[in-house]
Structure 1
Amino acid sequence: MNYENILKNNDIDCLLVNSSNEFLEEYTALEENARYKLTGFSGSTGDALLTKEKIYLFVDGRYHIQADEEVDHNSTEVVKLKIGETFVEKLTEKIPENSTIGIVASKNSQARVELFQKFFKLKSISIKLLEKDPILPTSIDNSEKKYTTVSGLSTNKKIKKITKNLKKGDAIFTSVPEEISYMLNLRDFSKNYTSSIKRKKCLFDKNGYYLEEKDVTGYVYMDKATTSAADFNRFKRVRALKVNPIKELKAVKSADELNHLKKCFARTDKALLATRKYIEENDNISEFDIANELEKNFKNFGAKSLSFKSIVAKDKNSASAHYSKSSKDEILTDGSLILIDCGAYYEQGLATDSTRVFVKGKPSSLQIKVYTTVLKAFLKAYSTKVNEKTRGYDIDKRARKLLNGLKPEGFEFSHSLGHGIGISVHENPPSLSPAGKTILKPSMCFTIEPGLYNAEHFGVRLENSCYLNKDRKIISFSKMCFEKKLIDFSLLTNKEKNTLKLFKVL
């Protein structure tokens, strides 16, 4: 493909190339990922800028190593975002003054386009919204759909809750697959790493829902953060939602959903434990062998599919937070550290997510020190006393402060502490991150996953998915063990030891 002609034919100086599809999904199949087609980078997030001179690929700390390994550095420059740096600032730096940038309207949210406009005007950069993606055409997929029995509320009751503040004639619009799946109590397992149905749009008003275009006599309310610029400009009378009622409702799980998740994580624990046994009892096994064994174990315990591509990474590979190419050539030897980040969907389509680190044979003193430090951060976060004002960033701050104070030289914590879970393996709200401003409410579900990484050595991440009970106490879904031979108990405080008693240590 002649990329210079793309710029010329669209009368633009540069083009923003997205990793997302027209549903703005986080996990997009590579055949639907324009950024992958342009750069060869297979990570789940990170956009690129195509210019006449070169390609810029923007990635956060999870993907710094992977991006370097996958792109052609003759044509592509990897722009590595650090904690506190934003994509829009770095993007603006790379665009010359008085340029015109092409942005695909269907693959960028309205909020994002407005943010770009705010930054771009400082350099007199103009935006041209494109109807079609010049790199990769869009495609709407209406897949087979199945009802789910675990919802807690019927569709009609959910509609009443989200439309209670609407005036007659007004409607709420969404094109987010997870939101539509949640509202309609539908799941679809025909695609990898998702249980959401794929339907382009849905309108809700006080009378019900509509899957096709409908004349709305009042205002159409949309979430700018999750609605594409193309959809946002489709209706004449549009208002932006200050708070997305579907997100808010979906974030607080019903008793049925919580009970189902407990059963799902019990099966995920069994799959991980069986994989741990496989690692201990077999020699000359590779990352690839372990990944296959893990997937087999998930299926043996009833998984419909994986909730994301499993990360099975040994030694230096484990320092890449989203390493995803488990290799036949990476053979475990005595002292090899192996990180496994995995999850699955079971019959009702709610995601699980867990991470554990194992060592084949005898661990090194550095492995023990790093593992114990990360464990201390997990226990610190897990023991947080949550009140009616506690936000996600409060918990992130506790764990991050401990890691920054105790981390060995060269090791860094380069990602958020945790994310929400539900129909999608990554939901927001809630978010345990420096930007996590949502107040944590009972029955919200989220991960706690501190980590430390050094590209010259290895990475350690420990992740439990949790929920907040009615007394605002953090409770772990996962009961998966921690590794006794990787823990230096002399480094744990009495409080940390007491918290650790809530979990198995093998």
Structure 2
Amino acid sequence: MFESAFQSFDDLADATQGPPRVAALRLELRRLGLDGFIVPRADCHQNEYVAPSEERLAFLSGFTGSAGTAIVLRDRAAVFVDGRYALAVRDQVDVSIFEPVEIAQTTPAEWLEQAVRRGARIGYDPWLHTPGQVERLAKAVETAGGVLVAVEPNPIDAVWGDRPAPPLGKITLHPGKYAGETAARKVSRVAALLGGNDALLVSDPHAVAWVFNIRGHDVSYTPLPLAFALVFKSGRPRLYIDGRKLDAAQRRKLEALAELKEPSQLERDLEDLGRKGKKLLFDGATAPARLVCAFKEAGGVCDIGADPIALMKARKNATELAGAKAAHIRDGAAVTRFLHWFAEHARHGRLTEIDAAKALESFRRETGKLKDLSFPSIAAAGPNAAIPHYRVTNRTNARIRNGIFLIDSGGQYEDGTTDITRTLAVGRPTATMRDRFTRVLKGHIAIARAVFPKGTSGAQIDALARLALWRAGLDFDHGTGHGVGSYLSVHEGPQRISKIGSTPLQPGMILSNEPGYYNAGHWGIRIENLVVVEPRAIKGAEREMYGFDTITLAPIDAALIEPKLLEPEETAWLNAYHLRVRRQLSPLLDPERRRWLVAATRPI
């Protein structure tokens, strides 16, 4: 699996093809009377992971990150990325064609406002942008004296000769033993939240999957069925899904709950609802501008806001939480087998990043329960570990030598989704490495031990993960934690622990706890476990209090810890965590690995 995945990505993300592909696109734009075109890394659902047929940004530029935008004008072009990809983008694109731009410094809209010439016509695909995105881009182009133009079909498709066909992944029903709630009950709960709206357009496939208790195989790493749905305040919902993805039994079960329709019928149905003067709620984060425009032009009333399903989905029920914990025990045993293997083989200096990634996947597959990885494994040696979202390919594959090796990986199991990062010493770490690792560990422990009142958001506790680094004049540029789904996306909102995490944390939410430190050009550190928000009983408390239960189980490398930097309560937490790891994973390991685990979790 790894070899073919890496090779296919190398073939697609070929920076040397940037000049001829951009030249071909510019010819097509001239034919269409356009002076530029905006290329987001998106599909019509704003998914993080998209089907190969939707990888237009990677095809055009070579950039393979999960978030980014390119803008191609007649005489210049730029690729916009966030801080995660600031280093990687320069290695992936031809900088003689594309100017790399950090979005924190200059947004695509700000760039357009300065770069567009008066009278220019700038195109965009209305299926790949939300209404809010279109509004911002249009304002910028108009300020510059140009006009933003909706273009269908996408002009990149005209120059992408071997573009893959859209996916037809088979649908699976997500059984009650994993879901913990019937789809009919979920639909009723969603309908009850619609207020003055007649219906909700469900444009996020994660929400479709959760509400209807289905999973799919249309994209890598996330078991998504690419589909839309309409949930009405009263009446049967409609599920818009390609019928070729369903077998007869699945069709019968879904038809008992919803009216099944082809995706091609959705725009026409929205126009019909618009002509009847209906009021629809659209998810501002995922709804395509094309559908919102079609409904509005037909006479409908648009309410563009937050999809209520996102918060419902984020609060896992008891069944989902039990499944997540079971998945993490299974996954933790697989990771421990990998750590033992790594300790035995890395010291010889012959392992590569791909060797390590393939080995970890093989240990997960040996569980017999793995459905897929939950994201492309980040197996990073030395300087590559300093790139937070590094993605190893056959071209970048580095040998693992003395220093630091970072592995960030996860698995998709029917009962839960996992995500874990471990930073490992190869040979003897330097004093600086031990200092930085221990400061990251202190931040990790601070989040794990946090207790906070109901209503607290992730932004309010994010600083806890950074204090030990700040005291040394250090920091990291990504959030401390993201939400995680239940056999769904490994990056789930709206919950997050970050400087912009505004959603109050609620019991049942699963988040990552992953502070880091990155010494650019040399090495990087990250320690990640998943945690569950849970009620916390405190004697004499005057407010309802919450805390975190850590559910990820695997050793943290003691060779990188400087014990003198830890406070007694931090040492106690680490020793208690390692005792729990040892007790819960030992029954799943053979005697040799059990002995290794005992040594790896010895109290400090």
With the shorter chain as reference, the TM-score category is: over 0.9
Separation in structure 1 between the aligned mates of residue 142 and residue 515 of structure 2, nearest angstrom: 38
- State the match for 1:279 in structure 2: 342
Change (3 A) 1:295 1:124: same
Change (3 A) 1:462 1:376: same
Q: What's the RMSD between the two structures over aligned residues?
A: 2.3
Superposition pairs of residues 164-313 of structure 1, within 5 angstroms: 164-166=192-194, 170-189=198-217, 191-211=219-239, 212=261, 213=266, 214=269, 215-216=272-273, 217=276, 218-235=278-295, 236=298, 237-282=300-345, 283=348, 284-301=350-367, 302-313=369-380
Q: Which amino acid aligns with 2:372?
A: S
Whether the 8 Å contact between 2:50 and 2:219 is mirrored in structure 1 is no
SS in 2 for 1:447: strand
Change (3 A) 1:395 1:219: same
Whether the 8 Å contact between 1:159 and 1:206 is mirrored in structure 2 is no
Separation in structure 2 between the aligned mates of residue 373 and residue 191 of structure 1, nearest angstrom: 37
Of the three residues 484, 490, 494, the one matched with 2:568 is: 494
Q: Deviations 1:31-74 (Å, cap 9, x if unpaired)?
A: 42111111011112111111111220111111112111111122
Separation in structure 2 between the aligned mates of residue 329 and residue 35 of structure 1, nearest angstrom: 23
- State the match for 1:107 in structure 2: 128
Whether the 8 Å contact between 1:310 and 1:324 is mirrored in structure 2 is yes
Q: Deviations 1:478-499 (Å, cap 9, x if unpaired)?
A: 0222111100011112232233
Superposition pairs of residues 324-343 of structure 1, within 5 angstroms: 324-326=391-393, 330-333=398-401, 335-343=402-410
Whether the 8 Å contact between 1:98 and 1:125 is mirrored in structure 2 is yes
1:17 lines up with 2:47 in the alignment: no
SS in 2 for 1:15: strand
Whether the 8 Å contact between 1:33 and 1:136 is mirrored in structure 2 is no
Change (3 A) 1:278 1:134: same
Whether the 8 Å contact between 1:30 and 1:36 is mirrored in structure 2 is no
- State the match for 2:383 in structure 1: 316
Separation in structure 1 between the aligned mates of residue 510 and residue 403 of structure 2, nearest angstrom: 33
Whether the 8 Å contact between 1:180 and 1:202 is mirrored in structure 2 is no
* TM-score, normalised with respect to structure 2: 0.78
Superposition pairs of residues 34-433 of structure 1, within 5 angstroms: 34-82=56-104, 86-90=107-111, 92-96=113-117, 98-136=119-157, 141-149=167-175, 150-166=178-194, 170-189=198-217, 191-211=219-239, 212=261, 213=266, 214=269, 215-216=272-273, 217=276, 218-235=278-295, 236=298, 237-282=300-345, 283=348, 284-301=350-367, 302-326=369-393, 330-333=398-401, 335-348=402-415, 350-407=416-473, 412-422=475-485, 423-433=488-498
Whether the 8 Å contact between 1:155 and 1:183 is mirrored in structure 2 is yes
Q: Deviations 1:186-216 (Å, cap 9, x if unpaired)?
A: 0124642111111244444422311234453
SS in 1 for 2:328: helix
SS in 2 for 1:280: helix
Change (3 A) 1:64 1:113: same
Whether the 8 Å contact between 2:206 and 2:224 is mirrored in structure 1 is yes
Aligned residues between the structures: 500
Whether the 8 Å contact between 1:480 and 1:503 is mirrored in structure 2 is no
Q: Between Structure 1 and Structure 2, whose CA radius of gyration is higher?
A: 2
Separation in structure 2 between the aligned mates of residue 90 and residue 259 of structure 1, nearest angstrom: 48
* TM-score, normalised with respect to structure 1: 0.93
SS in 1 for 2:376: coil
- Which consecutive residues of structure 1, in runs of 5 or more, have no partner in the other structure? none
Whether the 8 Å contact between 2:328 and 2:418 is mirrored in structure 1 is yes
Separation in structure 1 between the aligned mates of residue 478 and residue 108 of structure 2, nearest angstrom: 15
What's the CA shift for 1:293? 0.4
What's the CA shift for 1:326? 4.9
Change (3 A) 1:243 1:17: closer
Bigger fraction of residues in helix: 2
Of the three residues 477, 480, 484, the one matched with 2:554 is: 480
Q: Deviations 1:90-126 (Å, cap 9, x if unpaired)?
A: 5544444553321111011122212333444443442
Separation in structure 2 between the aligned mates of residue 184 and residue 281 of structure 1, nearest angstrom: 46
SS in 1 for 2:443: helix
Change (3 A) 1:151 1:93: farther
Change (3 A) 1:462 1:224: same
Q: Deviations 1:331-369 (Å, cap 9, x if unpaired)?
A: 223x23110010111124x42111111112221212111
Q: Which amino acid aligns with 2:515?
A: P
Whether the 8 Å contact between 1:54 and 1:75 is mirrored in structure 2 is yes
Whether the 8 Å contact between 2:410 and 2:417 is mirrored in structure 1 is yes
Change (3 A) 1:312 1:99: same
Separation in structure 2 between the aligned mates of residue 94 and residue 34 of structure 1, nearest angstrom: 22
Separation in structure 1 between the aligned mates of residue 411 and residue 139 of structure 2, nearest angstrom: 40
Whether the 8 Å contact between 1:312 and 1:326 is mirrored in structure 2 is no
Change (3 A) 1:207 1:431: same
SS in 1 for 2:414: coil
What's the CA shift for 1:414? 1.4
1:465 lines up with 2:493 in the alignment: no
What's the CA shift for 1:168? 8.8
SS in 2 for 1:467: strand
Separation in structure 2 between the aligned mates of residue 219 and residue 85 of structure 1, nearest angstrom: 36
Separation in structure 2 between the aligned mates of residue 278 and residue 427 of structure 1, nearest angstrom: 31
Identity of aligned residues (%): 28
